[in-house]
Amino acid sequence: MPLRSFSIAILGMDEESQAILQRHLGLLGHRSAAYAAAADLLAAMGTADSLDLLLLRPQDRETYQSLCAACNSLNTPALLVLHDGEWPHLLPETEDFIEVDAIEWNPTHSIEQELNWRMQQLWSRSRSPKPANKARKERNSWGPYKFLLDSRTVLNRDHAIALSSFEFTLALELFRGLDHILTRDWLMHRLWADKPRMPDPRTLDVYATKVRRKLELTPENGFVLHGVYKQGYQLIALPQAPAGASETSA
C-alpha cells in the first residue's frame, strides 16, 4: 500500500507532548494542527475540506460524544493516543466513532513508523466499502416520537408534526445525541455548515424553543430539552413509571 500524507488534527495533549508529536508527524511528511479546545476543533471540522485524521487523547464524555458525531458526519477516522499505562481507564467503551483505533505513545520513545503504519491502516479502512449486513442503521424513533426522513415530519403518537428543515435537523440531532450535551459549536455547524455564513448564535436558541414547543418535549411525553449554560443543549429521557403504578399508589 503506497504511503499517503495526511492532514491531521490533534486534541487533548499537553504542550510538550503535542510539540514532539507534531515534529514526528512533520518528519513523516504529514501536516498537523493542534487545538486547545474541542470547540475550536469542531468549528474547524465544520469548515475544513481536507481533514484526514484526528489524533485524540480522550477527555470528558460530552466532548467525546460531540467529536463522535462530527467524525461520523465527515467520515473522519480517529486514533486515540494514550500515554503508557493509560489504556485500561482512558479508552472509551464505545463504538460511536465510524473508525477508531488506539496506540500507546511515550514522547521519550521513538515509534514513528508504528504510528505512521497505524494511521495508514486506519485511513484505508475508513475508505473501504462496508459490508451491507454490517452497515450501521441510524435510529429514527424514540418513545412516542418517530422521524420520517423523506417528508421531514415527526410523528408523536401518530399525530403528524410538520417542521422546517432547520427544526427537523436540530430535533433529529438532539434525539440521536440523547442524554448527552451537544455543544453550540457542533449544532451550529451541523445546521449551517453548507451555508455561505453562520447566523447570529441566538438563532439556534430560537430554533431550540420552536422544537421544544412543537414536539411538546415535556415530562408527560417522556423527554425534556434543557439549555446548558455556556455549553449547548441536552435532551433528556425521563424514566418511565411502571405500568399500573398510579393505580397501585391510589
**Predicted confidence band of residue 102 (pLDDT cuts 50, 70, 90):** low
- Domain limits, CATH 3.40.50.2300, in the chain: 7-133
The mean pLDDT value for 102-111 works out to 63
Would you say residue 89 has pLDDT above 60?
no
pLDDT for res 73? 65
> What is the per-residue pLDDT across 51-67, written as a single tens digit (0 to 9) for each?
888 888 766 666 666 67
* pLDDT at residue number 47: 59
The answer to whether the predicted template modeling score (pTM) of the entire model surpasses 0.85 is no
**Which CATH code for domain 141-237?**
1.10.10.10
Q: Which three cell numbers stand for residue 98?
A: 465510524
Residues 202-246: tens digit of each pLDDT: 899 999 999 999 999 999 889 999 998 888 899 999 886 554 444
User: Which residue is it, cell 467503551?
Assistant: 93
| pLDDT 10s digits, 119-133 | 887 777 776 655 444
Rounded average pLDDT over 160-183: 89
State the virtual CA torsion across 102, 105, 111, 113 in degrees, nearest 10.
30
By DSSP bridging, strand 145-148 and strand 153-156 are antiparallel
Helix, strand, coil percent values for the chain (each to nearest 5): 40, 20, 40
Task: Give, in degrees to the nearest 5, the angle at Cα 43 between 40 and 46.
Answer: 150
Indicate the pLDDT class of residue 107, thresholds 50, 70 and 90: low
SS (H, E, C) 28-71: CCCEEEEECCHHHHHHHHHHCCCCCEEEECCCCHHHHHHHHHHH
Helix or strand run (H / E) with residue 172 = helix 165-176
The residue with greater pLDDT, 42 or 98, is 42
Amino acid (one-letter) located at 104: E
Signed CA dihedral, 149, 155, 158, 161: sign only: negative
CATH of domain 7-133: 3.40.50.2300
Per-residue pLDDT for 134 more than 50? no
Residue intervals of the chain classified under CATH 1.10.10.10 are 141-237
